Structure 1
Amino acid sequence: MTEQRISDLTTDELKALMSSTIDERLSAIKASLLQEIADLMESKVKSLAAVNGQSNSYILPKLSEAERQQKLKDLQEMFRRWDEEYDEEEQRETFEYLRQVLDEDRLSNRSLFPQT
């Protein structure tokens, strides 16, 4: 291809030149960004692996089905005990006390828990 001055090019030739130049630059930018993303992802994976190897982190072990069932039974037992120990009257008294204390020092004159 012979070199031409830009001022000698037709409109269609300028459009084609601009289009090809833009396409080349965009392809180069895309390739560069993809490489940068891949490098960042690899760096992140390495840093996570390094963190998981330190003593201040903990990865939960996978549980067998029997262990999972036992933990579920333990939770059910804990909730059953809570239900047995629940004292509705004590809970009401605690709520009333908390409502009174929280409303005493409010900056607003409106109650945090209005009486219904």
Structure 2
Amino acid sequence: MQKQSSSQTRQYIEKHKAILEQRRRELETRLQAIENDFEEPRNPDDDDRATERNNDEVLEELGEAGQKELLAVQAALDRIEAGTFGTCVKCSKPIGEKRLDAVPHTPFCQSCAQSFEA
């Protein structure tokens, strides 16, 4: 993050905390809906069961992706509580505001994130 006054920094962090908490609630709701769908009784018709199995595979993938994002969101909230939000966990340099605005739960600056993709 660029140099800001402590008041601006606090406001910026509070803004991201609210965004992260909202995203956490959305993910928890979605994951609960997926779990509820898995608990539904299955259709006795063979063709319908085949379709349901395909749907289950998609739901399972969505659930796994949601769980990973939920962990990342919680880790970002933990960094806020620890006072390290906005600092790259790899190189300890500030994470750019534009990057945090785009991906509020990112633990990495742009440079370190690109090094993982290579």
Higher RCO (C-alpha 8 Å, min separation 6): 2
TM-score, normalised with respect to structure 1: 0.31
TM-score, normalised with respect to structure 2: 0.31
